[in-house]
Structure 1
Amino acid sequence: MTRTAPSDTKTVSDLDYAAIIQFYAGHIQLLDAGRAEEWAEQFTEDGVFAQNAKPGVKHGRAAIAAGMRKGIDALAERGLTRRHWFGMVTAEPAGPDVVRTRYYAVVFETPKGGEPRLYLSTTAEDVLERRDGNWLVRSRYISHDGAETITGIEAVAGAGA
Structure 2
Amino acid sequence: MTSTQADTSAADPKGYVSADLYAQVQQFYARQMGLIDDGKPDEWAGTFTEDAVFEEAGRLKEPVRGREAIRLSSRARQERLERDGIDFRHWLSMLDVSPQDDGSLRARTYALAMRTPRGGALDVFASVVCHDHLVAVDGIWQVRHRNLSHDGSAQD
Q: State TM-score, norm by structure 2.
A: 0.88
Displacement of 1:8: 8.2
Give unmatched runs, 5+ long, in structure 1.
Answer: 1-6, 152-161
- SS of 2:78's equivalent in the other structure is helix
Q: Which runs of 4+ in 1 moved over 3 A?
A: none
Check if 1:27 corresponds to 2:19.
no
Displacement of 1:94: 1.3
Separation in structure 1 between the aligned mates of residue 41 and residue 114 of structure 2, nearest angstrom: 18
Separation in structure 1 between the aligned mates of residue 14 and residue 57 of structure 2, nearest angstrom: 27
**Structure 1 residues 36 and 94: alpha-carbon distance in aligned structure 2, compared to 1, 3 A threshold:** same
Separation in structure 1 between the aligned mates of residue 142 and residue 13 of structure 2, nearest angstrom: 27
Which residue in the other structure is 1:123 paired with? 129
Per-residue CA deviations over 1:21-73 (Å, capped at 9, x if unaligned) read 00000000000011111101110110110101121111110001111111111
Separation in structure 2 between the aligned mates of residue 9 and residue 111 of structure 1, nearest angstrom: 45
**Aligned-partner residue type, residue 128 of structure 2:** T
Q: State TM-score, norm by structure 1.
A: 0.85
- SS of 2:29's equivalent in the other structure is helix
Match of 2:103 among 97, 115, 125: 97
- SS of 2:63's equivalent in the other structure is strand
Which residue in the other structure is 2:66 paired with? 60
Separation in structure 2 between the aligned mates of residue 95 and residue 115 of structure 1, nearest angstrom: 46
Separation in structure 1 between the aligned mates of residue 34 and residue 64 of structure 2, nearest angstrom: 21
**Aligned-partner residue type, residue 38 of structure 2:** A
Which residue in the other structure is 2:7 paired with? none
Check if 1:141 corresponds to 2:144.
no
Separation in structure 1 between the aligned mates of residue 77 and residue 103 of structure 2, nearest angstrom: 31
Name the Cα RMSD after superposition.
1.5
- SS of 2:61's equivalent in the other structure is strand
How many residue pairs were aligned?
144
Displacement of 1:131: 2.2
Which residue in the other structure is 2:16 paired with? 11
Check if 1:50 corresponds to 2:45.
no
Instruction: Quote the sequence identity (%).
Output: 37
- SS of 1:18's equivalent in the other structure is helix
Separation in structure 2 between the aligned mates of residue 9 and residue 84 of structure 1, nearest angstrom: 30
Displacement of 1:132: 2.5
Separation in structure 2 between the aligned mates of residue 15 and residue 133 of structure 1, nearest angstrom: 15
